[in-house]
Chains A and B, each alone.
Chain A
Amino acid sequence: MKRILVENITDKMVLAKEVCGTSGSVLLGKGTVLTASMGHRLKNWGVLSVHVEGEDESPQQNGITGITPEEVRTALEAKFSRVMGSEIMKKIFAAVYKFKIQHNSR
């Protein structure tokens, strides 16, 4: 079994573990034969990586390095760049940042 990023899914890969959403509901069952377009769809649904059958690879090879709080902040700052003068938007920024950090560490 190996873990790969959804953008690296290619046709005929087989899921070695079911894909669950954050509330625990099963999106795709174990044994599902994947296609590249399913990978694209999983990404749109917010799934970052999946377990597929095959030999394990090093983290460098599978492309998973984890997202640091700094990276989360930088991405959010780019989105909020033009509205941070507003007190309301600062509050929303802080709440979303906190949420994303906690979510990442789960």
Chain B
Amino acid sequence: MKDPAAIRKTLENVSTIPTLPIVIEKITRLLQNPQTSAEDIGRAITTDQALASKVLKLVNSAFYGFPGRISTITHAVVILGFSTVKNVVLTASIFDAFSKRVSANTNFEMEKFWLHSIACGAAAQTLAKRIGHSAKEECFIAGLIHDIGKILMCNYLPAEFELVIQNRIKKDCLFYESEREMLGITHQELGGIIAERWNLPQALQSAVKNHHYLVQDKDFSTVSGIVHASDIFVRALDMGNGGDNKIPQMSEIVWNNLGFENIQMQQLLEDIESEVEKATVFMQLV
């Protein structure tokens, strides 16, 4: 097995890991000020034209479900609200930073990986809605980025990534099981490095670091739990592929805390499927 601390250190020292655009920080600051107007947000986003056009494409898609045409960012802010637009900008920026069509590893299909991630995000949003969790857009982003550690490994630790993949194929096991066996560290911890570096909200950091609930007595966090369950559902429904063909065990803590015994499962699966379909618009950003 490789030295997990050395792997972590290597990744922490990579200077080319993408950063989020300055506009995210600017918007976060603007949103803390009660005097901020829709025009202020619009102006901040349109300083980055490429980003602004992606944001407009997304807000006009079926995913956001607004029947008319939204033609300016300011209009989007008025219609959809500050926080939705901020989340759209964050989503578009994550794609900009990471989604490359080509994988450095022939046994890892990038397009299927992104479909799995987008589907997990859409499923997380659906589940959040179902259990009445208020931050459903945050759940979408949490699902979208939960496996970001795999992309980091694929791009910046290619030799280690190849070891994990070959072992995963040989043992027909889960990706994280292979990671633990070969590297002693998983994509959760590696993804956590970038989530911290990007200074993402705590709930998102926690979902990246704990979505497999490998530590059973870990404190329950709703967003991580929602992503944990959503990952299992989209695997079962064959939506994309995050790097293996197995289903992980659902944590009992998550199952009980989210109240699955009282959720009508067929309806939930129907809703997940229809949300995932609307969310395939995000594949156009890949």
Contacts and interface: CB of A to CB of B under 8 A. Distances in A.
Contacts of B237: 96, 99-100
Contacts of A95: 265-266, 269
Contacts of B239: 46
Interface of B: 62, 111-112, 115, 232-233, 235-240, 245-250, 252, 255, 260, 265-266, 269-270, 273-274, 277-278, 280, 283
Contacts, number: 75
A81 B260 CA distance: 22
A63 to B, nearest CB: 19
Contacts of B111: 40-41, 44
A83 B280 contact: no
Contact of B62 (A25, A86, A91): A25
A92 B250 CA distance: 9
Nearest to B263: A95
Interface in A51-80: 76, 78-80
B283 A25 contact: no
B232 A92 contact: yes
Contacts of B248: 83
- 9 A-B pairs with least C-beta separation: A95-B265, A21-B277, A96-B236, A99-B269, A23-B274, A83-B249, A88-B250, A79-B247, A44-B115
Given A44-B111, A96-B233, 10 more contacts: A21-B277, A21-B280, A25-B62, A25-B277, A40-B111, A78-B245, A80-B236, A86-B250, A88-B260, A96-B236
Interface of A: 21-23, 25, 27, 40-41, 44-46, 76, 78-83, 86, 88-89, 91-93, 95-96, 98-100, 102-103
Contact of B266 (A41, A89, A98): A98
Contacts of A27: 280
A88 B266 CA distance: 15
A73 B166 CA distance: 28
- Interface class of chain A by DSSP: helix
A44 B156 CA distance: 26
B115 to A, nearest CB: 5
Given A98-B266, A99-B269, A79 B236 contact: yes
Contacts of B115: 44-45
A59 to B, nearest CB: 23
Contacts of B238: 46
B269 A22 contact: no
8 contacts: A21-B277, A22-B274, A23-B278, A80-B236, A80-B247, A82-B246, A88-B252, A96-B233
Contact of A22 (B112, B240, B277): B277
B237 to A, nearest CB: 7
Given A44-B111, A45-B280, A78-B245, A99 B250 contact: no
A26 to B, nearest CB: 10
Contacts of B269: 95-96, 99
